[in-house]
Amino acid sequence: MLDTHAGLGVYDLTSEPAQKTLEYEAGAARVFGQDLPSAPGYPTLLADMNPAGLTRYPGSPEIVRRLLRPQDRLIACELHPADVEVLRDRYGHDPQVGVHCRDGYEAIGAFTPPPERRGLVFIDPPYEKTDEAAALARAMTRGLKKWPTGVFMAWYPIKDRLIAETLAEAAVATPFPKTLRAEFQIRPRDDQTLTGGGIIVCNAPWKLDEALTALGADLTRLLGEGGASCRVEWLTPA
């Protein structure tokens, strides 16, 4: 797996930034210690990381590392120098993890296709730039041309429709192969605040649509506020 925007790997929920926003209270805190039939590994992971109560939250590198089989490997890329050092402290001696200080979009061209010829590219940028969605769409287009059989997954926040529609339009226009879109919102979109998240998956694995539909139902039960919703749809044919 190539994680293009790896971040810190693990996040301290007792830190000042986490306590300032308390975003985790509407997410991980509601899953912690609960039954999640569609994805039982996630509450198990949270429990393993937090035996005395929820104080740590796993980012994508930590989730992936805990799921790697002996023959698997993770490439974690991060451009922020301080965050890279945190990643190196955590995974630097792990033979299955490589940490690189480099631009995530550039890394797609550098590390694909992998020698194994099978794998996943996970793209989760901070969306701090106004053209981030367009840059992501271009990166996925280039990556799929270089590695047509690779699985590419991009996460995006739901505030308005701009990011989602930019990615969807690129998927249909290119077109991306076998592309699935899934979105979950804890409440209706208001075009101002974060109400949920979505993913676009190219070369989506078999039955992923069914798994995500089941996950959406479970998340609606655990996280949903008034008007919670989930949709799973194919943007290009399965």
**Alpha carbon distance 155, 149 (integer Å):** 19
Selected catalytic residue, list 3, 72, 94, 124: 124
Q: What's the burial of 85, exposed, middle or buried (CB within 10 Å: 0-12/13-18/19+)?
A: middle
40-74: b or e for each residue (b if 16 or more CB lie within 10 Å)? eebbebbeebbeeebebbbbbbbbbbeeeeeeebb
Q: Is 124 a catalytic residue?
A: yes
Q: In angstroms, what CA-CA distances link 5 with 51, 60, 83, 120, 177?
A: 28, 9, 10, 14, 23
Strands 97-100 and 151-158: unpaired
95-129: b or e for each residue (b if 16 or more CB lie within 10 Å)? eebebbeebbbebbeebbebeeeebbbbbbbeeee
Q: Just list the catalytic residues.
A: 124
